[in-house]
Structure 1
Amino acid sequence: MLILSLATIATLAILLGSGVWIAFALMGTAWIALAFFSSFDPGPILASDFWGASYGWDLTALPMFIWMGEILFRSGLADNMFRGLSPWLNRVPGRLLHTNIVGSGMFAAVCGSSAATCATVGKMTLPELERRGYDANMAIGTLASAATLGLLIPPSIVLIVYGVVTEQSISRLFMAGIGPGLMILALFMGYLIVWSLVSGDRRGLTGRDESDLPLAQKLRQTLELIPILLLIGGIIASIYGGLASPTEAAAVGVVLSMLIARWNGSFNAAIFRDSLFAAVRTACMIAFIIAAASFLTSAMGFTQVPMQLARAIGEMGLSPTMLLVALTLMLLIMGCFLDGISLILLVTAIIMPLVSAAGFDLIWFGIYLVIVVEMSQITPPVGFNLFVIQGLTGKDIVTITKATLPFFLLMLVAIALMHLFPEIALYLPQTMTR
């Protein structure tokens, strides 16, 4: 098991470091694992996984939300968001870098997808932050990390999968995700404020200072936020009002973004064409990586590495706290090679009896599990948000990983706080059932 794990990591690192396309690197690693460490033929598995990953109703939401972000970016509505926020964030350390965190949190409540949140918010914020002189690494780190909240803040596809498999109330899981989601947002914003006070402002890394404006002008600029708020409100209302599923709401978002851009006088045939082609390119890049990651997930399943790791932990006889530490380490290792839903399915199939015997509340454990899955989204070598950011910026994986490291550590702090204070996750679902 150790030899296979090291060989897999080394193969993937060599392929990525040699400049091979990410999807081809994932496929090559999976092929080698199956060919040399199992008795299965890689060809049929590759064909089956690519076919299975190439269609699905839920997957339809991804290109729709990406297209919506392209429309917002190209029609100038994203710039309106910055103009509306900048007068109020001017005196907050970190200034407009907070828009990555707040914007990702808001969009996570709309789409429930980490990749879609990262791609959409990144299309809106990264060019503006660069133009205004903000530190590129901090802009990347805040975006890649905050975008993972698409898996936690409801509606969340991962929480739905966990609830179905463990027979837990999905509505209670959604309620339980709100508190930890807000806590992680607060931790990210708090770190950004401290970073800015300690180094950013002194070194001029938090953008050009915006001049103070009279209150009346601030209010006038704030009105420019109304189109974005209407868009987000329309999508959320269509979901929670029962009018549309998250996938259908993605299409609603595209239509609303076109109507708002047209009403704003900044939408034409050229923007429609350019935004559509750009969305197709980004969505195809992400879909190709998803298919390759599915193949790698199958390879890890056939080689039985995840099951052997879980069995080894179960035989240790650990206390609940040490069990949580061991599970976190195991899940982070597995998360390097498995996508979120596959990780959830493997864990619930193998270690749920162990978790129940240790006395963990299954609602609480579901939120913990999703946070660890979020961390795997920014964990090399196959952290999916890292690849999305690489596609948006062209920067290398090492630079992006270093930018996200502080936020990765803050997620570990969040897990520790949840363990010490379980009410962070359980207060709302317990209150709801009274």
Structure 2
Amino acid sequence: MKPNIFRKKAATSVLGMAIFLCASVSVSAEPDVRPIANFNTCQKPEWPKEALRKEQTGTVMLSFLISEDGKVKDSVIVKTSGYHLLDEAAQHGIEKCQFHPATINGIKIGAWAPIQYVWTIETLEQQQKALVLADAYRANALKGEITALYKLGMLYRGQEGLPMDLEYATKMFRLAAERGQPDAQYELGNSLTYGAGVSKNPEQALVYYQKAAEQGNVNAQLKLGRFYEAGSGVARNPILAAEWYAKAANQGDHVAEDKLGSFYEGGLGVEHNDTKAVTLYRKGADAEIPAAQLHLGLMYLRGKGVPKDLPQAALWISKAAQQRHPDAEETLGELYISGKGVLQSESDGWNFLQRAAAGGNIHAMAVMGYMLTNGIHATPDTTQGRIWLRKASALGSLLAAQWLDNSSLPNYVFGD
């Protein structure tokens, strides 16, 4: 290695903040195109004076509901920065951004967009410490310490007192990855996937994800599970998907626990086992993974792997709905309409169905269309009802298509 490979200039900025679009979890029908922020329309959130005075920093995870016109319709704080002022400032600032909306089959739909916002204060003292640390990593890298290359790359992600330089960071990740460092292999895979500091190359990204996963990187294992489940960049293979989810779940990844639970419930790539599914769902649900909370609730609703228990079903589904999971909102809406596990309320049911539809749940659109067209648990409005049915049908709902063609189909059973 040559010393000049690692050389960088000192940081000069005083305040540094960065926005990253994050990978999203799948809910409802997965959009062909996810919501994307048009950062030219965004204004940098103003740093709260009190937070700045106290030198408060941190990273907040947010999720924004993007409507069909690309505007923010709602937002939630997924994970706090640790400081209420910073959370609210990031939330209110990004709410002013314009987005390119999600689409399915070219049709615009509402969808949630997770975003991470990083607040950092780069004082001269912090900059100097970061530069000393960078020099130490370079020195260790020259001595052959591969992990130092990875740490050097992470240092230039813009969160450690130095200005962000994704091209340089990716260069360090590649040097470490080619020498077998698993975390660097995973980060290089991300860079190649999203085009961060390098041209997008999904095929090459998959190679590095595979290498990282084989060495035990839990994030890479989860990502490979998703790839093989969806057939994204690889041939769809439920057996391999289940194997990678199991490896990640065995390391305590709660999202992987939920995914593996769904494989046991459906007998995908593993032998069908509702009891194992419930055990895995419960682990994820206890960790407040909304999809796992919904899945556990559905097991109680249907008496699968556990005795049927409608109040428990409603409890867990409500927890997921509180986190704005559209599938949970749709299910909870039907529970309120039918009075299963909750006090019957058509108005609450309708409100949850509307929230679910706004978040891209196609079944909620179809059910709302059915209710309006037939005047069932709603004031009749054939025109608006058929608008919802046509939209749901265009988005792939076979049930909506049937309701459009034949209004005399058997009555729909809510909350099944």
Do they fold alike, i.e. is TM over 0.5?
no
Structure number with greater Rg is 2
In proportion to residue count, which structure has more helix?
1
TM-score by length of 2: 0.27
TM-score by length of 1: 0.26
In proportion to residue count, which structure has more strand?
2
